[in-house]
Structure 1
Amino acid sequence: MQRLLVIEDQLKLRRNLQQLLEKEGYEVVTSGTGEDGYYHATTEHFDGVVLDLSLPGRDGLQVLEDLRKHGSNVPVMILTARDSVDDRVDGLDGGADDYLVKPFAHAELLARIRALLRRGRGGAVTMLRAEDVEIDVILRRVTRGGSEIELSQREYELLEYLLRHKNTNVTREMLSRDVWKEPGGVMTNAIEVCVNGLRKKIEADDATPLIRTVRGVGYSVRDRS
């Protein structure tokens, strides 16, 4: 059984994360402070660490820096409300292997943890690609064929989500819950308007269509075989 350490100072979220991860079959140890988390991380074996940044005492970046100085190669995912480019760069440059912003979808968190544990200490995923479209997730920069494309925040979030779920069908329910943060209903009209706007930008000048409509389901982005 793989062991995870969750360092998170919000009690309710810490308990929710523990329950979610234990349900997936992980052994979970939790800590509410940077000092306590660092102690566990340096005195016990873990396959991965989920680390908040805003911690009492020793903050998350300091914990991460000290772990790397200590020689620890444990894979670390930062889970935080800090969503600026500078924060992401600081976290990844500080030694994190992935960076996920709150609020987050449970399915995405679990998928990222699985990927983190599969690759071990192999570097963070900072680029997403499909066809000739690339997203730099740190700089939030989108290019197609090397040319930068300006997107609104929502269009960017939609495209990033579709590329993270490349080669699978993404339902409108998933988009409503995870991108629009509206778990109680499906934002069909808003989603369609955003998809159409994104298509006009990403598929301009007779570029190969990237976003496919899956009738009765939602959308998908797939690489050509």
Structure 2
Amino acid sequence: MNTSHEAWPLLEMIFPNTSSGHRLLLRLSLTNLRHTLYLISPNETMFETVEDVPNYNTEVSTWWLVFIAMEFIILLVSGHCDRFALNDSITSMCAGILSECFKFGGRTIAIFGYVYIWNHYRLIENEWNSQWTWIFCLFLQDFMYYLGHRAVHEFGFFWGFHAMHHSSEYYNYTTALRQGAIQGKLMAFLVGVSLSCL
């Protein structure tokens, strides 16, 4: 899909080519919407090196803002304003931004453990471009995420990292963004390092 300014004829008239608004609107592509909804194929998400992997959070963030705005409008029109509080939503979005800022450190720390275990203790070496590897890793990653998420719910120490996510009185799209700032570091070790053995 063409995501250049030719794909949006009026875009250049509204926003200059180098503006933030221009970049945000370019992210409203069908491909990014499919990434947001996990409607992707294995071939689209197989990369030989880590450097080739796009920043999916950046790609889908504009769609999340659209979903939040749509939800707010639907609740407003349907008369269910009691299910949405602006101050709570802003708090959730700020917590999500802070969480993203802290992820860099958590991923950087976890990658050292990942690389060390991969280099010294890996059990097998899967082909990076095999669909079977993709399917196997999909289920393994999902299972490890389940174990990590269950751990943060079951154990008091871990719950301290995760409780912020459940602290909202509302259940809406912004609540999903409400993450503890250092929860990513914990999950990086619980999920990422365990997968590195493969």
Q: Same fold (TM over 0.5)?
A: no
The structure with the larger Rg is 2
User: Which has the larger share of helix?
Assistant: 2
TM-score under structure 1 length normalisation: 0.26
User: Which has the larger share of strand?
Assistant: 1
TM-score under structure 2 length normalisation: 0.29
